[in-house]
Amino acid sequence: MQDSPLTVVRGACPHDCPDTCALRVTVQDGRVVRVQGDPDHPPTHGALCTKVSRYHERTHHPERVLHPLRRVGLKGSGRFERIAWDEALATVASRLREVAARAPEAVLPYSYAGTMGLVQGEAMALRFFHKLGASFLDRTICSSAGGEALAATYGGKIGMHLEHYAESKLIVIWGSNSITSNLHFWTFAQQAKRNGAKLWCIDPRRTETAEKCHRHLAPLPGTDGALALALMHELITRGWLDDDYIERHVSGFDRLRARALEWPPERAAAECGLQAEDIRELAREYGNTRPAAIRLNYGMQRVAGGGNAARLIALLPCLTGAWRHRAGGLLLSSSGWFKPVRDDAALYRPDLLAGRRPRTINMSTIGDDLLRESSPEFGPRIEALVVYNSNPVAVAPESARVVKGFQREDLFTVVLEHFMTDTADHADIVLPATTQLEHLDVHLSYGHTYAMWNHPAIQPLGEAKPNSQIFRELAQRMGYTEPCFADSDEQLARDAFPGIDQEALRRDGWVKLPLPEAPFADGGFLTADGKAHVDAPGYGVPDYVPPHEGVGSPLAARYPLAMISPPARNFLNSSFVNVASLRDAEREPLVEMHPHDAAARGVVDGALVEVFNDRGRYHCRARIGERARPGVINGLGVWWRKFGVRGTNVNELTSQRLTDMGRGPTFYDCRVEVRPA
């Protein structure tokens, strides 16, 4: 018997990760049998992370939701019955119409980056919600503090090219576990290391990345702003500034200078829980090595002062003139480079609002907002929720409030999903969505500078439909007759990237943006005057903003430990938690604890512990070791609640307080105590 032929299709990884890899998807008999990295795409260079090389296990997973479902049990019980698409769409349309007739803003979309695709992301969805007049969602849950910081400082989310890190002589990896969450950057950092570069890592956790750097500084969470000010103090007092670069390309330096001079390394060392000598040494190397590059990542901005800290760090390469070289400078996000080739108005059609200005709900405070009554300040109580590309019951802070909101019997909830997540368990109607292997999409990246195209590799499985198609059909049921609701995915892809050569994009799967090699070698920031800005309108000169729940906060007496909850290597936020091979690799929900902290509490390695604060309690295993620094515990990954020992996850403990800029969440600004369970 002869094997059926294999075909290879070009795709793009849809996940919320800076790497946005180019894929080669091998199909046989309508099934995906292999997913590999494209060897020709420079950032991907033929390699994928463990998770995405298992992507076909996720797509062909036996527990995929493959037909519409209606809830028959209590919210959260996970009891559903199969219904036909026709009935599902009719039910959703009639409930949304009914709520919208009273108050369109009582309808709320809730979505994030389950797929980063522009077509299956917000294209048809926002057209739909604009026409309806639904509440706006402020999509803050990941990066808004750092994003606003970059906009204030550089004029946009822009920075170095990924590839040029290979030529750097000093790389500071700051608030990033690159091996876990930015693997393709790590490849370039390793090339630099082989060529003699020195690598520093700044992270409260001794991550696998920190272990492989030459030096690791483990500050207390949320103290990076103090560290950055002390580095500036050294650059200024030792004469390691590039005065010419500052003079021509930085505005407002004098006021920053005065502030930095208040932060000698001893003061920062006390605040950060570091040694002053280590801070001096980092400053000396940063101020005297050319080219010097910083890879900043979002881990450092999920704290009260995240925005100010990101601004201070973003100013460092402006003070030393590191930007003069293409392998010097900083990268937090590259997504702003795509602005000139996009047309958001064509894609999202804000004109469908027809002059209405709906209120905005912050996705990071969904727990509180679902529980609010109607009021003049808040507007109407949220009555209908349409969730897609997100799993808020698992990922949003302060789960007890979030769950209580999702359990409201008077709330109508629709969830578009691949799987019965913690959120889908609370839906009234679940609609089966296709995965990246089953639909078309286009992508930008926040870690490199290539536009990407994803061809569907296989037909939709079961009765699954692309998000775009689900919103198209809902629009039809609602009686929306504007021609834009009939646009195909191909048309949406063209609308998304009018500035990209579509032929090349479809053919090769990726197109590099035309950008200068060293974007700010001679200034040219995207601010109005082309300079990097110290001052930000409404915020003034950046300063150290201590954590809400830091060592000095009133809570510290009762809750002496700080807790951070960074990504687990084999999951992507809460995605992949249900893929058995990846879950086996992570084993079980856990917190890492330093041996001193464990001994003081009678906690032994592998013991079941209760982690608690005023917001809730979370049971998991303790892993004792040096990955945790004293005083800080690490609750890894966003596990699904239903896989937790007592049906909870780490967000039971996190707070809904927001960052200093961008209205972002403060996941890593969280005090707790631990006891054996």
Ligand X SMILES: Nc1nc2c(c(=O)[nH]1)N[C@H]1C(S)=C(S)[C@@H](COP(=O)(O)OP(=O)(O)OC[C@H]3O[C@@H](n4cnc5c(=O)[nH]c(N)nc54)[C@H](O)[C@@H]3O)O[C@H]1N2
- Residues lying near ligand X in the complex (CB under 6 A): 16-18, 112-115, 120, 141-143, 174-177, 180-181, 202-205, 207, 221-222, 224, 297-300, 303, 388-391, 395, 416-419, 421, 433, 467, 564-567, 569, 571-575, 638, 650-651, 654, 667-668
Residue 533: which residues within 8 A CB-CB, separation 6 or more? 152, 153, 155, 250, 251, 252, 525, 527
| Spatial contact of 124 and 132, defined as CB atoms under 8 Å apart | no
Judged by beta carbon distances under 5 to 8 A according to partner kind, the member of Mo ion, ligand X, none in contact with residue 202 is ligand X
Partner that binds at residue 299, options ligand X, Mo ion, none, CB closer than 5 to 8 Å by kind: ligand X
566 binds, among ligand X, Mo ion, none (CB under 5 to 8 A by kind): ligand X
Q: With CB cut-offs between 5 and 8 Å by kind, which of ligand X, Mo ion, none does residue 180 bind?
A: ligand X
Contact assessment for residue 660 and residue 669, using Cβ atoms and an 8 Å cutoff:
no
Q: How many residues at the interface with Mo ion, by CB under 5 A? A: 1
List the one residue out of 9, 677, 16 whose CA is nearest residue 395. Answer: 16
- Select the span of 85-93, 135-143, 310-318, 577-585 touching Mo ion (CB under 5 A): 135-143
| Interaction partner, residue 52 (Mo ion, ligand X, none; CB < 5-8 Å by kind) | none
Please choose, from the candidates 565, 662, 659, the residue with its C-alpha nearest in 3D space to the C-alpha of residue 613.
565
Residue 573 beta carbon to Mo ion: minimum distance, rounded to whole angstroms: 7
Query: 502: helix, coil or strand?
Result: helix
213 or 395: whose CB is closer to ligand X?
A: 395
SS3 545: coil
Q: Considering CB distances under 5 to 8 angstroms, the limit depending on partner class, which of Mo ion, ligand X, none binds residue 204?
A: ligand X
- Which pair of tokens denotes residue 222? 């949320």
Strand segments, DSSP code E, in 484-635 are 510-512, 532-533, 561-564, 590-593, 608-613, 616-624, 632-635
At residue 308, the 3 state secondary structure works out as helix
Interface with Mo ion by CB under 5 A: which range of 138-146, 151-159, 317-325, 448-456? Answer: 138-146
- Residue 627 CB, shortest distance to ligand X, in Å, is 9
Please, which residues have CB within 8 angstroms of residue 2's CB and are 6 or more apart in sequence? none
Report, in Å, the least distance between residue 108 CB and ligand X: 15
Q: If contact means CB under 5 to 8 A according to the sort of partner, which of Mo ion, ligand X, none does residue 148 touch? A: none
Looking at beta carbons only, is 80 or 667 nearer to ligand X?
667
Bridging pattern class, strands 170-174 and 198-202: parallel
Give dist(CA 382, CA 405) in Å, integer. 10
Q: What is the 3-state secondary structure (H, E, C) of 447-494?
A: CCCEEEEECCCCCCCCCCECHHHHHHHHHHHHCCCCHHHHCCHHHHHH
Q: How far is the CB of 327 from ligand X (least distance, A)?
A: 21
Q: How far is the CB of 392 from ligand X (least distance, A)?
A: 6
Between 321 and 336, whose beta carbon lies closer to ligand X?
A: 336
Q: Which does 667 bind (CB under 5 to 8 A by kind): Mo ion, ligand X, none?
A: ligand X
C-alpha–C-alpha distance, residues 557 and 568, integer Å: 30
Q: Could you tell me the smallest distance in angstroms from the CB atom of residue 418 to ligand X?
A: 4
Smallest gap from residue 575 Cβ to Mo ion (A): 11
The three-state secondary structure class of 272 is helix
Instruction: Give 132 or 386: the residue with its C-beta nearer to ligand X.
Output: 386
Position with the least CB separation from Mo ion: 142
Closer residue to Mo ion (CB): 142 or 577? 142
Q: Closest approach of Cβ 210 to ligand X, in Å?
A: 8
- The CB-of-274 to Mo ion minimum distance in angstroms stands at 27
Q: What angle, rounded to 10 degrees, do the helices at 253-260 and 224-237 form?
A: 100
The one of ligand X, Mo ion, none whose footprint includes residue 648, by CB under 5 to 8 A per kind, is none
Backbone angles phi, psi at 177, to 5 degrees: -100, 80
Nearer to ligand X by Cβ, of 13 and 622: the residue is 13
CB of 142 to Mo ion, least distance (A): 3
Interacting residues with Mo ion between 537 and 576 (CB under 5 A): none
Measured from the CB atom, the residue of 170 and 395 that comes closer to ligand X is: 395
Pick the closest to residue 44 from 17, 59, 69, 22 (CA basis).
22
For the CB of residue 18, give the shortest distance to Mo ion in the complex, in Å.
10
Question: Would you say 456 or 519 has its CB closer to ligand X?
Answer: 456
Nearer to Mo ion among residue 131 and residue 139 (C-beta): 139
| 650 touches, from Mo ion, ligand X, none (C-beta below 5 to 8 Å by class) | ligand X
Q: Are β-strands 616-624 and 608-613 bridged in parallel, bridged antiparallel, or unpaired?
A: antiparallel
Distance CA 182, CA 458 (A): 28
> Residue 111, Cβ neighbours under 10 Å: how many?
22
Task: Tokens for 289, please give them.
Answer: 């090595």
Under rule CB under 5 A, residue 674 binds Mo ion? no
* H or E, element range at 225: helix 224-237
CB of 184 to ligand X, least distance (A): 11
Q: Does 291 sit behind a cis peptide bond, omega within 30 degrees of 0 on the bond before it?
A: yes
Q: Does 142 bind Mo ion (CB under 5 A)?
A: yes
Q: Which is closer to ligand X, CB of 321 or CB of 367?
A: 367
Binding partner of 569, given Mo ion, ligand X, none, CB within 5-8 angstroms per partner class: ligand X
Nearer to ligand X, 14 or 321 (CB): 14
- What is the Cα–Cα distance from 301 to 296, expressed in whole angstroms? 10
Q: Which does 655 bind (CB under 5 to 8 A by kind): Mo ion, ligand X, none?
A: none
Q: Would you say 220 or 395 has its CB closer to Mo ion?
A: 395
Report, in Å, the least distance between residue 524 CB and ligand X. Answer: 27
Residue at 579: amino acid letter: V
Question: Residue 621 forms beta bridges with which residues?
Answer: 590, 608
Distance of alpha carbon 58 from alpha carbon 378, whole angstroms: 40
Pick between residue 287 and residue 392 the one whose CB is nearest to ligand X: 392
Residues with Cβ within 8 Å of 553's Cβ and at least 6 positions away in sequence, in order, are: 546, 547, 671
Burial class (CB in 10 A: 0-12, 13-18, 19+), 400: middle
Measured from the CB of residue 98, what is the shortest distance to Mo ion in angstroms? 35
Q: Residue 142 or 672: which CB sits closer to Mo ion?
A: 142
Of 137-145, 194-202, 524-532, 540-548, the window that binds Mo ion (rule: CB under 5 A) is 137-145
Instruction: Sort strands 632-635 and 590-593 into parallel, antiparallel or unpaired.
Output: antiparallel
Residue 8: CA atoms inside 13 Å, Cβ hemisphere, count? 11
Query: Of the listed pieces 131-139, 140-148, 437-445, 561-569, which binds Mo ion according to CB under 5 A?
Result: 140-148
Binding site for Mo ion (CB under 5 A): 142
